Amino acid sequence: MNNISTKNKSSHSIILFALLFLFILPKVYSEVIPDSVFSKFESELSIKAVELSKVRFNNKLADSLSNELSNKFEKILLMEGAIAFSFDSLLAIGKVESNDKNLRIFTWNTVRNDGTYLYYGFIQVYLKDKKTVKVYRLIDKSDSIPNVESASLVPENWFGALYYDIIETNLQEGVLYTLLGWDGNDLYSNKKIIESLTFSASGKPKFGKSVFRVGKSKQKRVIFEYSRMANMMITYDEKNTMIVYDHLSPSNPTYQNNPAYYGPDFSYDGFKFENFVWNHLSEIDYKSTPESLSKNKKKRRR
């Protein structure tokens, strides 16, 4: 009888140890992923992204490569410790990061058969209060979004762009992230986007908040369309908390309302952040702006 009891206790101990081992093992291994492993992953992502960037006017191949890249990238971003790895050496994938390092957005694109662009990306955010990392895949639905400047959007219904700058300002209810982005649009025109991004208490991202005041109305994002042959500047002057951009005009009055013929006219407009809103400013005197603005222009101009 004692032998049977002893055997049962021994079996229970082995089972208990095995269960603890199964629960603890993944955590132990996930906590010791070295930077060298993430560097290897980064190189693999770069190889795939560079391969994708060379594909032109081949939707089937572009979609296949993009799906491979997206699936691999998502798995890597969800790994323990990935939020702490810089990913500064990524090729053919854009990255913007908040000052506190808690938010990163990765974006890339493909060129379609008709000369338009399709965008892909991920939001990776660290929720400090929950001590957890969330990853959201961005799905470009630009072509099917009505009234885009007043639309509230989510990652699954995203106005696609390559983001090249991120601006952090405070609202009464939390942080506002303002994103500056570029869109190749089509064979005739390009676009620049000033986008707004906020997060709910649960960490869900939302694109589009009515923080851009133009005249008496407010917009959730601002979109500029201009000639593919032109180069429009939008930059952030951190010292004056002001977004400054080239004013666009048609090359000839006969092309009024035809964006394919619009370009900078050597004047400047902007948005200044005051009272929790980006207020539109017309005809900024560029020469009187601080030296930091001209430095930012050279650094961030796209």
pTM over 0.75: yes
Question: Tell me, what's the pLDDT at 166?
Answer: 98
pLDDT at 296 exceeding the cut of 60: no
- pLDDT per residue as tens digits for the range 31-51: 568 899 999 999 999 999 999
pLDDT band at 287 (very low <50, low <70, confident <90, very high): low
pLDDT of residue 17 exceeding 50, the answer is no
pLDDT at residue 302 greater than cutoff 90 = no
Question: For 64-94, how does the pLDDT look when each residue is reduced to its tens digit (9 = 90+)?
Answer: 999 999 999 999 999 999 999 999 999 999 9
% the chain with pLDDT above 70: 84
- What digits encode the pLDDT tens for the residues 119-168? 999 999 999 888 999 999 999 999 999 999 999 999 999 999 999 999 99
pLDDT at residue 27 above 90? no
Tens digit of pLDDT for each residue in 91-116?
999 999 999 899 999 999 999 999 99
pLDDT by residue (tens digit) across 183-225? 999 999 999 999 999 999 889 999 999 999 999 999 999 999 9
Secondary structure, 3-state, the chain: CHHHHHHHHHHHHHHHHHHHHHHHHHHHHHHCCCHHHHHHHHHHHHHHHHHHHCCECCHHHHHHHHHHHHHHHHHHHCCCCHHHCCCCCCCCCEEEECCCCCEEEEEEEEECCCCCEEEEEEEEEEECCCCEEEEEEEEECHHHCCCHHHCCEECCEECCCEEEEEEEEEECCEEEEEEEEEECCCCCEEEEEEEEEEECCCCCEEECCCCEEECCEEECEEEEEEECCCCCCEEEECCCCEEEEEEEEECCHHHCCCHHHEEEEEEEEEEEEECCEEEEEEEECHHHCCHHHHHHHHHHCC
